[in-house]
Amino acid sequence: MNIVGISACTVGIAHTYIAQEKIEAAAKKAGDTVKIETQGTIGIENPLTEEDIAKADIVLLAVDVQIAGEERFNGKKVVKVPTQTAIKSPNKLIAKLHELAGK
Q: Give yes or no: 73 in active site.
A: no
Q: Any idea which of 7-16, 32-41, 44-53, 58-67 has the lowest mean pLDDT? A: 7-16
Q: Distances from the Cα of 58 to the Cαs of 14, 53, 76, 78, 98, in angstroms?
A: 25, 9, 7, 6, 9
Helix (H, G, I), strand (E, B) or coil at 39: strand
**Percentage of the residues of the chain whose pLDDT score is greater than 90:** 91
Look at residue 8 in the predicted model and tell me its pLDDT.
Answer: 96
**Stated pTM of the model:** 0.96
What domains lie within the chain, and their CATH numbers?
2-101 (3.40.50.2300)
- Of these residues, 9, 23, 26, 63, which one is catalytic? 9
